[in-house]
Amino acid sequence: MRDTVKVIIARYREDVAWAAALGYDYVVYDKGGDFGGEARQLENVGREAHTYLTHIVREYDSLAPVNVFVQGSPFDHLDERGNGSPETLRSMIEDVVDRGAPFKGFAWFKLQCDHLGRPHDMFKPENRGRWAGWGRDIPVGEVFTKLFGADPPERITARAPTGIFAVTGERIRTRPRAFYEYALRLVEADPDDARNTGHALERLWQHIFNGNLAWNREDYD
């Protein structure tokens, strides 16, 4: 099973020593600039979506059979009480491998939203300054249409709302590399996430990896 799974970690100054305890191959993409271990350095832009898409674009032809995408400290989102652990994550990964699931979000909850990402926390006074996009809606419908050239569904169910999920290499490659390059350009055009492009992708991972070939476009200019 170890050779089947690769864990891709989007780190920003978190302690990622826990990764070794998973027992799987892993790679750390570091945006904090203070990581002393072996890591791939990236500019601190675009939230974790930038990291994930960068990995897919670079490794497209050599992706692992199962790819697990997580942030540097993912555990609060794995359990309703915030008691997730490396053991929790490892058990979730094992279940995905055992069942052969092509995609699985690991957050303990799912979200439903409209085309503006509502309901969301972008207008709450207590969150002012937490995100560059505070005070703006999340352009879920707009990003959906840019990615797929189609109208989004009326209600969108986010099955990986915190950006923690597993997806097979086979499922990733149901979309061409050009799709991910285009998605990466969208993120890079909003480097501070002031327009909440990265937040929108958190609501759309299950659509990106749903294997619907009819949503593939002929070009991604």
140 within some domain: no
Which two three-digit tokens encode residue 126? 């207590």
User: How many structural domains comprise the chain?
Assistant: 1
Residue 36's pLDDT is: 79
pLDDT at 1 over 70: no
Q: Select from 126, 127, 121, 139 the least CA-distant residue to 193.
A: 139
35 within some domain: yes
Report the pLDDT averaged over residues 145-162. 95
pLDDT at 120 over 70: yes
- Chain centroid, CA 24 distance in Å: 19
The Cα 86–Cα 95 span in angstroms is 14
Q: Select from 60, 27, 29 the least CA-distant residue to 44.
A: 29
Which two three-digit tokens encode residue 55? 């990995």
pLDDT at 122 over 70: yes
Whether 111 contacts 157, CB under 8 Å: yes
Report the pLDDT averaged over residues 80-94. 93
220 within some domain: no
Per residue in 15-47, pLDDT (tens digit) is: 999 999 999 999 999 999 998 778 999 999 999
149 within some domain: no
pLDDT at 83 over 90: no
23 within some domain: yes
- Domain interval for residue 77: 5-110+160-214
| DSSP conformation letters of 112-175 | EE-TT--S-STT-GGGTTTSTTTTS---HHHHHHHHHSSPPPSSEEESSTTS-EEEEHHHHTTS
Query: What DSSP state is assigned to residue 214?
Result: G
Per residue in 176-195, pLDDT (tens digit) is: 999 999 999 999 999 999 99
CATH number (domain holding residue 53): 3.90.550
Least confident range from 87-91, 210-214, 217-221: namely 217-221
Orientation angle between helical segments 47-59 and 177-188, nearest 10 degrees: 150
Report the pLDDT averaged over residues 87-104. 97
102 within some domain: yes
95 within some domain: yes
180 within some domain: yes
pLDDT at 173 over 90: yes
